Amino acid sequence: MAATVTKLACLCILGLNLSLVNADNSVAAKPRVPLPVTPKPKRAKRPPVYTPPQVSQTRSVPGRFFPWKRDITATIFWIGEEPTAKNPTPNHASSWDQNWEANYGGFDNPEPRARARDYRPLAFVPRLNPFYVALPYNDIDRSGTKSEASRVVPWFQKRFKKKGWTTLKGQWLAIKFRGKTCYAQWEDCGPFVTDDWPYVFGNARPKNRANKQAGIDVSPAVRDYLKLKSGEKVSWKFVSASSVRRGPWKYYGQGKSTGGSRRPLRSYTPLPKPTIEELYEQRKRATRSTATKRTYGG
């Protein structure tokens, strides 16, 4: 009996000590005070910097490097076009070729009845590609190469040879209209302006306000292939030469081939350059009434 009482007394003393220890620990524990947080200063937003798209160095799928420019008003122009009220600049010469009409082979008559089934003019076999366009930027002027050209033209470093030589002539484009895609080469500058690089190489809209804010001129061959009328909206983008698909845009012109095949798409004997008198006779025979200019004029 005495031993049992002694055990109970020991247990009571032990429990009392444990309760005291827990009480001391609870009293000794202090709540944590969060440290003050210093807010980080906000950085000022940097102005957007234009970064030209990268040019493909290998064979690639069209559209991988250059974005589409959508809802762009297209107008029609042609080699040998006489100046009109809507288009005061004659097209016997281009921005980069003073003998454009002669080098092409003659007057690129826009009349539908004067066009062949393969989209060339019926009167002669063209020496240059009949699928051509004009865009409103020129990288050269009378003083030489423009100062911003090396910064805004994506392929400038790859193609630059010397001051005063363009790096733009011959660049391929893809043009889309109502689900159909056509390819053409950049051969002239316009419509109306030649300094609109934010639109041509950036994301801006065309700064030209004439002819429904036209942003691209296309040739009769492009018009006929896409079944396009002057003033309608198209989408276009730059493409690498290796991305150009087979089509009539590779039939004619010096050095045109399949882009991989050793055999040309179409063999022919190029005609000699026409003389001034022959060019005059071509323009004289061509029917270019006021209705034609109103229908197809750029």
- Please give the pLDDT value at position 137: 98
Write the pLDDT tens digit of every residue in 17-73: 545 445 454 445 566 767 777 777 777 666 555 455 554 433 333 444 799 999 999
Q: Which amino acid is at 124?
A: F
* CB contact at 8 A, 97 and 103: yes
Query: Per-residue pLDDT for 105 more than 50?
Result: yes
Using CA atoms, how far apart are residues 77 and 219, in angstroms rounded to an integer? 5
pTM confidence score: 0.69
Give mean pLDDT, residues 92-112.
95
- Please give the pLDDT value at position 205: 97
Query: Per-residue pLDDT for 292 more than 80?
Result: no
Residue 166: pLDDT band (50, 70, 90) is: very high
- Please give the pLDDT value at position 253: 84
C-alpha separations of 193 from 93, 104, 137, 139 in Å: 16, 24, 7, 12
* From the candidate CATH numbers 1.20.1270.360, 3.40.50.300, 3.40.50.261, 2.40.40.10, the one assigned to the domain spanning 69-296: 2.40.40.10
Instruction: State the chain's mean pLDDT as an integer.
Output: 79
- Please give the pLDDT value at position 83: 85
Query: Within 13 A of 30's CA, how many CA atoms are on the CB side?
Result: 3
- Please give the pLDDT value at position 17: 53
Identify the weakest region by mean pLDDT among 41-50, 208-217, 268-277: 268-277
Residue 280: pLDDT band (50, 70, 90) is: low
293 Cβ neighbours under 8 A, 6+ residues apart = 84
Write the pLDDT tens digit of every residue in 132-143: 999 999 999 999
Query: Per-residue pLDDT for 4 more than 80?
Result: no
Give mean pLDDT, residues 270-290.
57
- Please give the pLDDT value at position 15: 53
Residue 88: pLDDT band (50, 70, 90) is: confident
- Please give the pLDDT value at position 159: 95
